[in-house]
Amino acid sequence: MKTHYTILISLITVFLLFVGNIMLAQPTHAKAEQLMEKYEFAKAAEWYETYFLSHSPTDTELRNISYCYMQINETAKAEKWLSKLVIKESATAEDMKIYALLLKSEAKYDEAMVIFEKLSSRFPDLKSFSNEQIIQCKLAQTWIATPEFFDIKNVETFNSKNSEFGLIKVKDEYFLTSDRKVENNASEEYGWTGNPFLKMYKIEMNGENLKSIDPISDLNLGYHNGPGIFDEKTSTIWFTRTKSVKQKQKPTNPDPTSWFSGKIQDVYTNRLEIYSAKLVDGKWTEITAFTHNNAELFSVGHPAISPDGNVLYFVSDMPGGFGETDIYYCEKRSNGTWSNPQNVGPQINSIGKEMFPVVDKDGTLYFSSDGHPGMGGLDLYKSSGSKKDWSLPENLRFPLNSSRDDFSILFTEIGTKGFIASNRYGGLGGDDIYSFEYSPPPPPVPTELILALTTWERLDDGKLIPAEGIKVHYHIVGSNVENSIEMVYPGMYQTVLDCDAKYQIHGYSDSFFAQSVEIETKCETMNDTIHAQLIFERIVVNKPIVIENIYYDYDKWNIRPDAAIELDKIVVLLTDNPTIIIELGSHTDSRGSDKYNESLSQKRAESAVQYIVDSGIAFDRITAKGYGEYKLVNKCSNGVKCSEEEHQMNRRTEFKVTGFSKDQPVIYSAGE
């Protein structure tokens, strides 16, 4: 990602991914190691380059210099030095993994796939990871070969030899964030990169020509500032500042048998905070710290605001997330304060980094991530929804995305025109501002399309890995003629479809619940490939799965219309998976007697089962079980005071697969 924000938004620890043995280095290496400990990676890399002119680098030194170059975003140099290590037998799984990812970020997809194959062969426990990355490399090659219809241009007027990103619209002006060298900040050098600190700048134009780019003195402090977002409804800018926090930290020693114990020392860690300011008569006033800043423990930054101004989204590495950095939100209360942060959930957040959220005027969430299937580095994604309810993120593909970092999108026309930031090759500096505009070509258009389908398994932590062994069929909606789709690689399928038709795609397996997706082939552009994916949940015997939104009237067990909608989904599940046998269980809260609750829950379960049987499912494939209050999911047992929301968690309906109606291998069972 951009040099600075890979640095800033990740929890920075002084002891690095590659340098586990750094404290055991020989005295002649002390200078470079000291520079690394102070985060002066640019100088440390320069020192190593000079040292290697007269010395052969050790494995540790190769890791160190590669890490230095990765931290200042010179990935080509990192790749060069790490390549000298991965050819050795001493290369670790982590060495090969990072080298392959570097190749991917350099768009060397064929070479990357070779390394991923070797990684899978040498370290079988990384087979799923390697297969996932190979699929992503193939997808990237497909996306490059069949680009989306966007014209991308470097906005040279805005860019310098350093980094520019975070372009936003404030009234009729543009602001951006940059570490460019100007007369009044040339002496402020950030040791990590060797460049000045990040500042926010105002762009003044004279027609099509640049008049000036000046730092915004009201908002910039001495350290890093930006990026931000402007709320037009309240004339408020929300922006990021960085704070250096002093901590006591002991160096990590990865070798438990080593005699070297290290030492406890003071460490300065960069943490992000959010601030807001009001625009009054052309001046920024009332600069206020966000109520949920907590720089002693974690970062919050990269703010984004919903169109109505009532939901603030931001990025944080606070405890309890799904990955390195997640997107969170707070809701504005009626008194103007902000509610406690809530994670937007695993549909958006991955085990990697989610960063730079933007909410467009139509409510679409755009963000960057290195944890979802992508081309390399940070990719741009979009999703529909709000708060915790989001659609599956969609990769914006090439050319909005590249093999490197693409982020910080700004739309000037919804969905079709605007700006992004990227450190892709061919720019003027580290990160550059690029304009984009949707420009579909004129006819003729194709009469056929290639369907490129990927199949994924969703793990309990939300991570997606390639799902293998899936049988895939398709048919035109309204037709009963089924056709199979050929697998071209584990987890990837391709076939040719007619234009201007609706298709139903089905995926089946003994190990997963069946999945389907409907697509429409509109041949309106020269792009001859349509992409789709199926995401599968593994069948785990005796694992309870909650059926959402099954409610009953007080002391009743008849099926309400809203419950019928959810039970219809179970009918579809049983129809699509004709071999599974399930138990449908009903649970109550603890209020009322144990015997009464057991009887009521049994009647409710039987009522739900009867509805499903009446819908055409064989009675011997489903049983009813009333558990009463015997399996509470929280503390709310007899006599414990709880809120209505907490009691509602216990009033639930679940189903679980208990077996199969014909011989079939059972791969997993809950509790095993």
Q: How many domains does the chain have?
A: 4
124 backbone dihedrals φ, ψ, rounded to 5° = -55, -25
Task: Assess whether 565 and 524 both reside in one domain.
Answer: no
Q: Please enumerate in sequence order all residues whose Cβ is within 8 A of that of 393, keeping only pairs 6 or more positions apart, or say none.
A: 347, 348, 367, 369, 372, 381, 382, 383
Using the predicted structure, report yes or no on whether residue 370 has a pLDDT greater than 90. Answer: yes
Q: Are strands 622-628 and 580-587 parallel, antiparallel or unpaired?
A: parallel
How far is residue 40's CA from residue 33's CA, in Å, rounded to a whole number?
10
Residue 671 lies in a domain: no
Q: CATH number, domain at 125?
A: 1.25.40.10
CATH label of the domain that carries residue 576: 3.30.1330.60
614: helix, strand or coil: helix
Q: Are residues 217 and 360 in the same domain?
A: yes
Any alpha helices (H) in 146-220, and if so which ranges? none
Q: What is the CATH number of the domain that holds 528?
A: 2.60.40.1120
Mean pLDDT for the chain overall: 84
Tell me what the mean pLDDT of segment 154-180 comes to: 92
125 and 187 share one domain: no
**Do residues 190 and 316 share a domain?**
yes
Q: What is the pLDDT of residues 88-137, one digit of tens each?
A: 989 999 999 999 999 999 999 999 999 999 999 999 999 999 999 999 99
Residue that has been written with the tokens 């490399």 in this structure: 137
Instruction: Give yes or no: residues 422 and 570 share one domain.
Output: no
Based on the fold, state whether residues 139 and 155 are members of the same structural domain: no
Has residue 233 been placed in a domain?
Answer: yes
Asked if 35 and 138 sit in the same domain, the reply is yes
Residues 42 and 88 grouped into a single domain: yes
Tell me whether residue 428 is in a domain. Answer: yes
Residue 279 inside a domain? The answer is yes
Residue with more model confidence, 249 or 480: 480
Residues 589 and 614 in one domain: yes
- How many CB atoms neighbour CB 520 within 10 A? 11
Gap between the Cα atoms of 393 and 401, Å rounded: 14
Q: Is residue 432 in a domain?
A: yes
135: nearest Cα among 455, 370, 457, 530: 455
Decide which of 408, 438, 468 is a domain's last residue: 438
Question: What range defines the domain where residue 377 resides?
Answer: 150-252+271-438
Euclidean distance between CA atoms 122 and 95, whole angstroms = 12
Give per-residue pLDDT as tens, 390-436: 999 999 999 999 999 999 999 999 999 999 999 998 888 889 999 99
191 or 552, greater pLDDT: 552
The CATH code of the domain that includes 294 is 2.120.10.30
- DSSP bridge pairs for 240: 274
Query: How does pLDDT run across 495-532, given as a tens digit for each residue?
Result: 999 888 899 999 999 899 999 999 988 776 556 788 89
Instruction: Give yes or no: residues 111 and 196 share one domain.
Output: no
Question: CA-to-CA distance for 239 and 229, rounded, in angstroms?
Answer: 6
Asked if 348 and 365 touch (Cβ cutoff 8 Å), the reply is yes
The distance from CA 111 to its chain's CA centroid, rounded to whole angstroms, is 25
Asked if residue 192 is part of any domain, the answer here is: yes
Q: Are residues 291 and 231 in the same domain?
A: yes
In a domain, 478, yes or no: yes
Cβ(92)–Cβ(60) under 8 Å? no
pLDDT digits (tens, 9 = 90+) for 14-39: 333 333 343 333 434 678 888 887 77
Same-domain check for residues 455 and 429: no
Looking at residue 367, its pLDDT comes to: 98
How many other CB atoms sit within 10 Å of the CB of residue 328? 23
Q: What pLDDT, on the 0 to 100 scale, is given for residue 524?
A: 64
d(C-alpha 72, C-alpha 97), whole Å: 20
217-254: per-residue pLDDT in tens?
899 987 889 999 999 999 999 999 988 776 544 333 32
Please state, as a whole number, how many other Cβ atoms lie within 10 Å of the Cβ of residue 204.
11
Per the DSSP assignment, residues forming a β-bridge with 265 are 249
Q: Report the C-alpha gap between 140 and 314 in whole angstroms.
A: 28
Task: Choose one of 144, 169, 193: the last residue of a domain.
Answer: 144
In angstroms, rounded to a whole number, what is the distance separating the alpha carbons of residues 647 and 633? 10
Dist. CA 430–CA 423, nearest whole Å: 6
Single out the residue in 123, 144, 165 at which a domain terminates.
144
Show the tokens assigned to 635: 């503390």
- CB of 236 within 8 A of CB of 279? yes
pLDDT digits 0-9 by tens, 124-165: 999 999 999 999 999 999 999 889 999 999 999 999 999 999
**Upstream peptide bond of 251 is cis (omega within 30 degrees of 0):** no
Contact 365, 359 (CB under 8 A): yes
Task: List pLDDT tens digits, range 265-301.
Answer: 445 567 899 999 999 998 999 999 999 999 989 999 9
3-state SS class at 211: strand
Residue 399, preceding peptide bond in cis (omega within 30° of 0): yes
Cα–Cα distance for residue pair 516/571, rounded to 1 Å? 15
553: pLDDT strictly greater than 70: no
Q: Which two tokens stand for residue 521?
A: 């082939």
Three-state secondary structure call for residue 2: coil
Residue at 668 is within a domain: no
